[in-house]
Every structure is written in structure tokens, then in C-alpha cells.
Chain A
């Protein structure tokens, strides 16, 4: 294993531990698509804290380097912080499509895509992948070629299959299997 790869692996497990420590909440939660879950991951707890943000930035930049894209996009307000700073460091323009709707008042998405149409979406958390897919559709309708979607944490609830079947390469940085969620019976 080369050094870059092992550093990347270390960062991924550091991020997974940080999520367990700071961003994992136990209880009964309703998901964005209505499903029930006995835990919830709030990536705002990672992006708002300088160390967590740095780790998330490095990992995302590492994946972006392997892709040939000229824009990145956020599919929801929760992903805006990471998308904005990653865009700045990668020197890529960032676009914001919240739940399928571009946030711009007087500028067309088409115009913003003129300087480059190859887009990667960066999501904070993915479950079914529906939120990401709605951003993909909006971007494609505006003439973008959506190459890939990077997910900081994929909870393995269908996002992989949904996005890949729609021609989007799916790249999770941390997956549900990497995170230790205490079983209900073991919870205090």
C-alpha cells in the first residue's frame, strides 16, 4: 500500500471516529424521505468544527483530484458549508441546488455552467439518494454533465444503486458499515 493510500485510509477512519463521537445521535428519527431510523448522523457537527472540517476537506479534495470536473454542486443546505470551502481550495466554482431547486434569483444555472459543464455533486449524508438525484436532474436539464457524486457518509439505504443506475459514479467516503452504532439493547 502506498503512502497516499494509507493516509487516505487513516483520514477515513478518523472521520468515522469523529462522526461516532460528535455527529451520531441515538433515538427514533424520521428521515427526509419519511423512513424511520434508530440513529441519526448530523454532519453539521463535523463541518462546524475546525478539525472535522479540515478532515472532510482533505478527503473530498483527494477524491475530486481523481475526477475530471470543473464545477461542484451542493444538493442541500446541509452540504453548502463543505461545498463552498472545497470549491475554494480546489479552485472549482460551486453551485447550490437545494432539493432540486437552484438558489439563484437572477442568474440562470445555464449561464453559471458556461465556464464548464462537468459537475460533481458533494453530499453531506446519503440515504436513498433521492435528494442527490433531484440535483442531478436539475443540473442535467441545464446542460451539465454530472459525472459523480461524493458522499461524506453513505448510510447504505439505496443511494449507490439509484445513482449508479442513473449514470452517476457514486463515491462514499465513509459508509454505515464503518460506523459503530450501539445496539438498542446496549444503549443506556
Chain B
């Protein structure tokens, strides 16, 4: 927060939707102490919430914004990294997944944030063609149905912070005005309701996917 990674105003998200706030996830690596601390927090969540019940063979990162932190987590835990390329390079090996993965490897998806979860589900789908994906760890849960949608796709979401906790904290510090706080809280609440309807659709489609022969 100190680094101005949460901005308030009017923003257009990658989904094309408008938002009264924006989490600039690409800024963390500009502040090495922040990146280091965030990396430690990811490791804590992984060690406490996931490792006791699930073996981790690979950590998967998501370029562009999510790759730096996934690399940091991979290095801190000494677990090999893999990453999905959304666009294959037109030269070289032209692979869609970088790094080495063995079939049936347990892959932990490490990303920076989740909004509705749709792009995360897509990433997990690609990774599931090479291994087993059950858990997703993110820095920020924007609480717009992501957790429910991921659950519908057989994925458990773990987050370091929830966006509404971030807003409450910023209000406490007088870093944002009560009016801004109200606007963003209403925005989150409203989009939660919209995505509640989408959950039904998402879980239905994942049922269909699951019944297909693998």
C-alpha cells in the first residue's frame, strides 16, 4: 500500500469492465523489500495451508504480472518453476509451457490476484493438461466471486489479503476518505452479486467438462 499499488479513480480492467479502484500488481518488483516480504507471506500460506495436506512438485507462474512473484516463491521454497505462455513465441522452441513437468506432478498455481477467477480457471485448465492442479495462491482476492468460481472448477483459493480488508485498513489509516471507502465497498458488493449468478453457469459448465472422458 505504501508503494501506491492500490489506486482509486476510474479504471478499465483487462476484462473490459470498469472499476473504481485498481491494484497495480506490476509495481512490487520495483520495491525489493516489498517483493521479499510478499514472497515470505506466500511461503507462509503455502506451508501452513497447503503443504500439510498436499505435496507440491512444481510452482506455476503466470506472465506477465504474476511471473516475478512466482519465481521468488519458487526460489524461496526451492521448488522448480513452470510457466504458461499465453502467446507462443514465433521463434525458438515455441513451447506453451516453460520449464520441466512430469506427468501427474502436483502443480501449485501462484498468481498475484483473482477477480472473477475466469482467467485463473483458464490457466489451471492448461496446466491440467500436464499435471494435477488443486490449489491457487494469490496476493489479493478482489472478492468478486473468484473463490466461488474457482471452487466450481475444483480449485481451492488461498489469499494473502482480501481487498475489503485492504480498504478497511486504508480507511483506518485515513489514507482514503469515507466516501471513497463507501464507493469501493459498494462496488465490490455489487459485483459479488452479479458474479453469484455467474457461479451457477460456471459450475454447470465445469460439470460438463468433468463428465468428458479424459
Measured CB to CB, the residues of A under 8 A from B are 25, 29-32, 40, 42, 44-45, 47-50, 53-54, 57, 77, 80-85, 87-96, 98, 103-107, 112
**B18 interface contact, C-beta 8 A:** no
CB distance from A172 to the nearest CB of B (A): 19
Provided the pairs A48-B99, A50-B80, A80-B68 are in contact, do residues A92 and B32 lie with their beta carbons within 8 angstroms?
A: yes
Measured CB to CB, the residues of B under 8 A from A are 4, 7, 11, 22, 24, 26-27, 29-33, 35-36, 39, 61, 63-65, 67-69, 71-72, 74-75, 78-83, 89-93, 98-100
Which residues of the other chain, A, contact B79 by a CB distance below 8 angstroms? 50
Provided the pairs A53-B75, A93-B32, A112-B30 are in contact, do residues A84 and B93 lie with their beta carbons within 8 angstroms?
A: no
How far is A50 from B11 in the complex, measured between Cα atoms in Å? 38
CB distance from B79 to the nearest CB of A (A): 7
Which residues of the other chain, A, contact B91 by a CB distance below 8 angstroms? 29-32
B90 touches A30 (CB 8 A): yes
A-B contact count (CB 8 A): 122
B27 touches A104 (CB 8 A): yes
The majority secondary structure among interface residues of chain B is mixed
A25, A54, A77: the one contacting B64 at CB < 8 Å is A77
CB distance from A104 to the nearest CB of B (A): 5
CB distance from A29 to the nearest CB of B (A): 6
Nearest-CB residue, chain B, relative to A51: B78
A44, A53, A93: the one contacting B29 at CB < 8 Å is A93
B64 touches A94 (CB 8 A): no
B27, B63, B82: the one contacting A48 at CB < 8 Å is B82
